[in-house]
């Protein structure tokens, strides 16, 4: 998935976010691709691999604050801007990404 490739590429060079990921980014990219595909009605591969998504629980071990949230969103925005999506789909996806990021750092301001 182009979104997760580009987003993860941005994360790879981010000194703050990079430490939240394993040395090899491939598995994280695959999980996010499977999660997003399932979330948007695709195959239930993510659940088959990892069980229920439990987004907040899976990220609980990481320090999520306004800075990390905004860094991640900036990388995902850059990735999204590099895709040629229908504007309606682009807006739906961006709204979801923002909502998910804010749910992981709810009191970050």
pTM of the model: 0.84
Residue 96 pLDDT > 80, yes or no?
yes
Tell me phi and psi for residue 86, to 5 degrees.
-60, 135
pLDDT of residue 50: 86
pLDDT of residue 107: 67
Most distant CA atoms of the chain, gap in Å:
35
Q: Residue 45: count other Cβ atoms within 10 Å of its Cβ.
A: 15
Helix (H, G, I), strand (E, B) or coil at 75: helix
Q: How far apart are the first and last CA of the chain?
A: 31
For the segment 60-66, the average pLDDT, to the nearest whole number, is 81
Q: Which two tokens stand for residue 28?
A: 């994280």
């Amino acid at each position: 998935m182009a979104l997760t490739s580009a987003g993860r590429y941005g994360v790879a060079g981010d000194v703050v976010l990079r430490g939240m990921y394993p040395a090899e980014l491939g598995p994280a990219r695959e999980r996010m691709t499977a999660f997003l595909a399932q979330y948007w009605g695709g195959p239930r591969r993510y659940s088959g691999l990892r069980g229920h998504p439990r987004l907040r629980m899976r990220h609980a071990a990481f320090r999520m604050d306004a800075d990390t949230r905004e860094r991640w969103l900036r990388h995902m925005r850059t990735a999204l801007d590099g895709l040629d999506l229908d504007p309606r789909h682009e807006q739906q996806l961006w709204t979801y990404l923002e909502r998910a990021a804010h749910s992981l750092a709810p009191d970050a301001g």
